Amino acid sequence: MMMQSFQPPRRVLMGPGPSDVGPRVLQAMARPTIGHLDPEFQALMEEIKSALQRLFNAPDHACVPLPAPGTAGMEAAIMNLLEPGDRAVIAVNGAFGGRMADMADRAGATVVTVEHDWGQPVDPARVEAALAEAPTKVLAFVHAETSTGVRSDAATLCGIARKHRALSIVDCVTSLGGIPVDAAAWDADVVYSGTQKCLSAPPGLSPIALSTRAQAAIAGRKEKVRNWLFDFNLLMGYWGGEGGRTYHHTAPINALYGLHEALVVLFEEGQQAAVVRHARAHEALVAGLEATGLRMLVDEAHRLPQLNTVLVPDGIDEAAVRAHVLKTWDLEVGAGLGPLKGKVWRIGLMGASATPWHVRLCLTALCEALAAQGFDADAKAALAAADRRLAA
């Protein structure tokens, strides 16, 4: 077998992540690798920690990028805060809430799930009822459910956790950079994210922020954390910065170059400006989709701009539509997960993929693919509707 160098095809990434990665971030990935204990790398680590505090608005949290994809943030949060004997209330309104519950079970906790229909936001009243039943260590929920395109009310839910003396864990994998994430205003205990969504860096890192309450809870555990790589008692000796670092793992140097550059790019634009850009692209996309007769899964009040779940019309082969746009337009859109499999497309407008160009390409490609299956899709009307929103 002769192996050849891999040359990826051209793609336009409008699925649930990764999103398009811009040339500055790609170039940063290719800079020469240096040692993870090098003084200049340690300065970079400090700069990334500060930048993550700014990104999460978490000036009093300890912030680090975990050396693995977004799921690492979830696993680190759950495994560090929970141990046998602890009660956890976990809101489940999609695939990722369910994953949190599985992890909490592995941590040895007593897990109480508050189940919702997929496509609905987390219901604060039902969560509060579950917290009121018994003393609870952790309330965990997903801010932006990537599987459904739903936004939940993080400020209210974190407030309920505080009221009941539970620590809050907020999954911000898909929200961070696309809608406001504000750990300080929410008074959240652990928030985490991934690099491959609205930050538009390659997948592989999981930024996480821990409040002083969360840090104290971890320091006061009875048992060791069941993970070693994500054990904050060890990790903070490596990333902590006070009085020299303790070797723990080898940081993924080049991935951190990429994250750093993505943050430079984001701060140049401004976080608020990026949020506005996501919102505008979303409004234009929805206007275009609705103009051609398509409908959204989620009520307008709870829609995520960066993750749009579009109902597959009756009689349409949803996989054939995705195959068509991939083949003829190099365009990736996402499929439904779990109970939404075959019923929705997931269209991402994340980071560098949240532009008018992406909206127009996607509408053009989708209408073409739908028309090929006999659906009366009017690309001209869709683009005109999107353009009107973009011009407004």
Q: How far apart are CA 350 and CA 359, in angstroms?
A: 11
Among residues 3, 301, 391, 392, the one that binds a second copy under rule CB under 8 A: 3
Q: How far is the CB of 275 from a second copy (least distance, A)?
A: 19
Amino acid at 301: A
Q: How far apart are CA 137 and CA 217, in angstroms?
A: 9
Q: How far is the CB of 344 from a second copy (least distance, A)?
A: 15
Among residues 121, 149, 177, 202, the one that binds a second copy under rule CB under 8 A: 202
Cβ nearer to a second copy, comparing 6 with 117: 6
Which residue from 147, 130, 167, 162 is spatially nearest to 94, judged by alpha carbons?
147
Q: Under rule CB under 8 A, which residues in 217-276 are in contact with a second copy?
A: 224-229, 247-255, 257-258, 260-261, 263-264, 267
Which residue from 211, 213, 190, 220 is spatially nearest to 72, judged by alpha carbons?
190
- CA R_g for the chain: 21
Q: How many residues of this chain interact with a second copy, rule: CB under 8 A?
A: 81
277 assigned binding-site residue: no
**Degrees, nearest 5: CA angle 24-255-188:** 100
Q: How far is the CB of 288 from a second copy (least distance, A)?
A: 22
Q: How far apart are CA 56 and CA 185, in angstroms?
A: 10
Q: How far is the CB of 105 from a second copy (least distance, A)?
A: 7
Cβ nearer to a second copy, comparing 54 with 162: 54
Cβ nearer to a second copy, comparing 321 with 377: 321
Q: Under rule CB under 8 A, which residues in 21-60 are in contact with a second copy?
A: 21, 24, 26-41, 44, 47, 50-51, 54
What is the full DSSP assignment across 119-169?
Answer: TSPP-HHHHHHHHHTS--SEEEEESEETTTTEE--HHHHHHHHHHTTPEEE
Among residues 18, 98, 305, 336, the one that binds a second copy under rule CB under 8 A: 18
For the four alpha carbons of 129, 137, 206 and 113, in that order, the dihedral sign comes to: negative
Q: Under rule CB under 8 A, which residues in 93-112 are in contact with a second copy?
A: 99, 102-103, 105-107
Q: How far apart are CA 119 and CA 298, in angstroms?
A: 6
Which residue from 355, 349, 348, 298 is spatially nearest to 151, judged by alpha carbons?
298
Among residues 9, 220, 244, 374, the one that binds a second copy under rule CB under 8 A: 9
Q: How far apart are CA 38 and CA 43, in angstroms?
A: 9
Q: Under rule CB under 8 A, which residues in 107-136 are in contact with a second copy?
A: 107
Angle between helices 356-372 and 271-291 in degrees, nearest 10: 20
Amino acid at 38: D
Among residues 204, 288, 305, 336, the one that binds a second copy under rule CB under 8 A: 204
Spell out, one character per residue from 314 to 353, where the chain touches a second copy: x when CB under 8 A holds, - when not. Answer: ------------x-----x----x----------------
4 binds a second copy (CB under 8 A): yes
Residue ranges of the binding site for substrate:
346
Residue ranges of the binding site:
346
